Each structure stands twice: as structure tokens, then as C-alpha cells.
Structure 1
Amino acid sequence: MKMCNVRQFFKQFPDDEACLLHLFDVRFGQGHDCPKCKREAKWYPLTNEKAYSCQWCGHHIHPMVDTIFEKSRTPLQLWFYAIFLFTTSKHGVSGKELQRQLGVTYKTAWRMAALIREHMAAIDGEAPLGGEGKIVEVDETYVGGKTEGRDWRARKTVVMGMIERGGDAMLKVVPDQKRGSLMPVIRENVAGGTEIHTDELSAYKKAIRWNAMDTRP
């Protein structure tokens, strides 16, 4: 079912149980061979934990393990809704917007947004640069040929280059030239905890030492 509005989302995912079932179906599905008894099984949801039990031996499968939802205290439905916002927004979703939409703390919203972006980048085949203990150098330039006049910047495109020392490089088009437009590009493409090296441009001041928040949402 392709969803395009909020009503369709909540019809498909009315509660955490529906979200967990969807996650189980996508990752495993009924008839999945039990890793313990090696038999094709029907799986039953448990009432006291977020898991499914094998009909033959009672072995448990936890659909949230090895996903961005693992160990999170945030309701699964809010996670799904956050992902819905990311996949339906044309201009991305900020931590502040998630905080407002989900009714969670900014710290939780920021962490959720970072994990969702990392997951989406990995799916698209472009994993974030950097990470704890790593250095990423960042700079930007104007592209668009020779032009004259006081408003020459408005007629060019801003392209940001990011390179991890000893690792990969990445080029991204900055969607606009407004103040504060550079940091969102960095947050979307550089892993939290990375040491950012830039020039003295004021727009980069917040990126000089950008560290991930350790507490999971």
C-alpha cells in the first residue's frame, strides 16, 4: 500500500502491534524456518514482549533486533510516523519538526532523525562519512560559469565537498543559499561524533566539533 497522506498512514498502522506485525512480515513472514528447530513454522505474537514465537519449539524472534528501533523506548508507531514524514517530505525533516510532530524531546527527535537518515543513506548505497574518532573535511564552492553583477551568487549553485581522511569523498548540492543551509547537509551526510574540519566561514561554527548524543531515544 503506497501511502500519500496521514489518514492512510494511521489506517495501516493504528498502533504498535500493527507496526510490529508489519516489521515481522517484512523481515521474516509466516512460514519462516525456525532457526532453532529448523522447521517451517507459523509464528504467534507474544503479549508480554515485542516478539513472535515458533509454533513447534517456542523459539522467539524479535523483529526490532538489528534495526534502528532496537532498545528504543519510543513507541514503534512514532518511529513509523517519523519515517513516513521523511519519505513524504520534499525538503527533509528537521529535529525540531519531529519534536513538534511526535511530542517527544528534542534530544529524542534529533537522535531518531540521525538514525533514519543513516538508514536511508545506507539503503541508497551512500553511507554517511566519518564516525567516532574520525575526521571529515568540509568546504563549499559556487558552480555555474562566469557571471557578473552584485547578485552573482544567486545565479550559481552551491556544491559542498566532504572527504573523510583515509576514506571516501562526497559531493552534495546545497538546496538553497540561506543562512544555516550548510549544517543540515552536514548532519544528513556525516555520522554523529565526527570531528569536522572547515574554514572560518561563520556558517560552519556549529560544525567545528559535532558530537552524537549518546542516549538512545
Structure 2
Amino acid sequence: MKQVDSKERIVMNKKQKISTKQFFRMFPSDEVAMKQFEEWRWGENRQCPHCDSFRTVECSHKTMPYRCKDCRKRFSVRIGTVMQASNLGYQTWMQACYIATVGIKGTASTKVSGDVDATQKSAWFLGHRLRKAWERDGNLMEGVVEVDEAYFGGKEANKHKSKKLNAGRGTVGKTAVVAAKERDGDIQAKVVAETTKRELQGFIEENTDIGATVYTDDHKAYTGLARKHGTVKHSVGEYVKGQAHINGVESFWALLKRGYHGTHHHMSPKHIHRYVNEFASRHSIRKLDTIDAMQIIAKGMVGKRLTYKELIA
């Protein structure tokens, strides 16, 4: 990370954090931020995003400072990333990575708008493009894994009469989310159509190693799970039984619900999977130094695109 001076970090509880003041000392301009994005993406071997050639040279174009000797196309570090076609400066994008990293309960687009000096619409789009960068393929979870499901949204009382589902109380109209957490590690979470045996056990089998020990509550959908399986009987007030508990994944639900109700106030069913992925990904890197977490987001930008048309379709 050549562009970042280690003296600009604060050591706090072994995690090196960055204050807002320090951030702007580290990245005082678009040029400095651009060079850092380039370092994170290419290191010392700049590569053409059009044809993958390493035979590239600098050129005097304002927005495309490099040219490929093989395909002869111009490019910048934005090309082939979620930053492509964005009018926002590199410093703004770097600041957005910083905000996304330090805001453990998420950050509302209205707040981001003021922080980066952009319209609320631009900040909303920026936030969702960063959520695209958070997307990742996790490794199979091993050891002790906690699994649980939760529901979000769907308060019928707040809906217009024409949109009410009129199907009674409980989980009607809500979005179901299932999450798996390694006892001392990562989290994977996914929006599911329903909390059936097929959906929940399918999620577990996709995300856990065959040798993992899975702990759940006593939901009937987990019966017959093809893993070593232990339960706690929430239905009769049991929450810990020796090593069998799901306190870790329930702490994730608490954080996600604070983000839902306290930060964003609402997550539409159309986009809630993006927020769920953001919270799970951020939780999984929560122990990293701030600058290293920012690097993970930046690397996650590569090879992904999200247009405004796609977002609102």
C-alpha cells in the first residue's frame, strides 16, 4: 500500500482506525485517491481492462490516462469496475469506501449526501454500487457454525389499504433472511423466499463444510439436516445448552435490525438483499484495520457493474 503512510493510523485496541481528519490528510485530492485505487488494483503491473495486456503506457488524456499497446484502447482504473461511467471524483469514491467501512450500522444516503457533497440521488446510487462491491463468494464454513433466520419489514398497519395482504398476523408480508456464522469467524446471509426445509437446509449445505457442526433453534425446517446438528429450544425458553447456542448470529440480527430501523428506517423488498450482503460482509471484516477494510471494498469493485437503469428497473 504505497500511497498510505502508516503514521497516519491510530492504534486502538489493536485495530488501526482512521479519523475523518486523518482520512483527508491521507487523501487530499482526486490524484492521490486515484493512485491508491491503482495500487490496490494493479500493484506494479498495470493491466489493460479491455484485453488484459500488460503492455500499457501513459498518455495525455484527461480522464483516460493510459493506453494499451495491443488493443490501442485508452483506459483508467475506473474501467471494468463499479466506478465506471461515474462523474464522482476519486476522492469521493475513496471517502465512500471509508464511510462504508466505519459505519457499522450502515449510513443513510441523506448522510452520505452531506458528507461527500453530492445530491441524495447520487449518494443513493453510490451506496448501492458499493453494496455491489461488497458481494463475495465465501469459503465453506468449518468447525462450529450457528444458523438462524429472521424477518424484516412488512408492517401491514403502515401500508395503504390497496397494498395490504390481509392474511393475518405474524410473518405475512415480511422478508425472510437466513444467516450462518462461524463461531469465531465470517457470516454469510441470504434473503430467502420462505423458511422451508428446502430453503434453509439448502442454504446450510451450500455454505458449510460437510464436517461442520451446525447449531440452530428448534425450527422444524432444520430436522434431518445433513450435518452434525445441535439445537436450543427457543420454544420452551432455552437459549444456551452447553456449546449449543446461536448467540453470535443473533448479535448480527441485532446489528442489522438497528441498521434497518435506526439508520435506513426502511429497506425495500426489492433491495434488501443488497443491504443484507453489505452488513454480512462488513461484519466479516470488522476486526481489520480501516485501511485494509477499504482495500477489500476497492478490490471488490473490479469486474462488477451496476447501472442506474438496472437498479431502478
TM-score, normalising length from structure 2?
Answer: 0.41
Deviation at 1:24, TM superposition (A): 1.7
Q: Report the counterpart of residue 266 of structure 2 in structure 1.
A: 183
Q: Report the counterpart of residue 108 of structure 1 in structure 2.
A: 122
SS of structure 1 residue aligned to 2:266 = helix
Distance verdict in 2 for CA 1:178–1:112, change over 3 Å: closer
SS of structure 2 residue aligned to 1:214 = helix
Which residues of 2 match residues 152-163 of structure 1 at below 5 A?
160-161=176-177, 162-163=191-192
Q: Report the counterpart of residue 62 of structure 1 in structure 2.
A: 76
Deviation at 1:67, TM superposition (A): 1.1
Which residues of 2 match residues 54-93 of structure 1 at below 5 A?
60-93=74-107
Deviation at 1:13, TM superposition (A): 1.5
Q: Deviations over 1:54-101 (max 9, x none)?
A: 699976442101111100011121111011011112221111111121
**Quick one: distance in 2 between partners of 1:76 and 1:4?**
18
Which residues of 2 match residues 135-150 of structure 1 at below 5 A?
139-140=151-152
Q: Deviations over 1:107-158 (max 9, x none)?
A: 11111111112212x14749xxxxxxxxxxx9459xxxxxxxxxxxxxxxxx
Q: Does 1:11 align with 2:25?
A: yes
Q: Report the counterpart of residue 215 of structure 2 in structure 1.
A: none
**Quick one: distance in 2 between partners of 1:64 and 1:178?**
30
Higher relative contact order (CA 8 A, sep 6+): 2
**Quick one: distance in 1 between partners of 2:70 and 2:122?**
39
163-172 or 107-116: bigger deviation? 163-172
Unaligned runs of 5+ in 2: 10-16, 140-149, 154-174, 178-190, 205-248, 276-306
Which residues of 2 match residues 187-198 of structure 1 at below 5 A?
189-191=272-274
Query: How many residues are aligned here?
Result: 167
Q: Does 1:99 align with 2:99?
A: no
Unaligned runs of 5+ in 1: 127-137, 142-158, 193-211
Note if contact 1:45-1:51 (Cα within 8 Å) is conserved in structure 2. Answer: yes
Q: Report the counterpart of residue 24 of structure 1 in structure 2.
A: 38
Q: Deviations over 1:6-54 (max 9, x none)?
A: 222122211111122112222223344678796666x536452233246
Distance verdict in 2 for CA 1:38–1:105, change over 3 Å: closer
Note if contact 1:19-1:80 (Cα within 8 Å) is conserved in structure 2. Answer: yes
Note if contact 2:34-2:90 (Cα within 8 Å) is conserved in structure 1. Answer: yes
Distance verdict in 2 for CA 1:215–1:32, change over 3 Å: closer
Instruction: State the one-letter code of the partner of 1:15.
Output: S
Tell me which protein shows more helix as a share of its residues: 2
**Quick one: distance in 1 between partners of 2:87 and 2:47?**
29
**Quick one: distance in 2 between partners of 1:40 and 1:50?**
16
The sequence identity of aligned pairs, in percent, is: 16
SS of structure 1 residue aligned to 2:125 = helix
Note if contact 1:114-1:187 (Cα within 8 Å) is conserved in structure 2. Answer: no
Note if contact 2:109-2:120 (Cα within 8 Å) is conserved in structure 1. Answer: yes
Distance verdict in 2 for CA 1:54–1:90, change over 3 Å: same
**Quick one: distance in 1 between partners of 2:259 and 2:23?**
33
Give the superposed CA RMSD.
Answer: 4.4
Q: 1:173 aligns with which of 238, 253, 277?
A: 253
TM-score, normalising length from structure 1?
Answer: 0.56
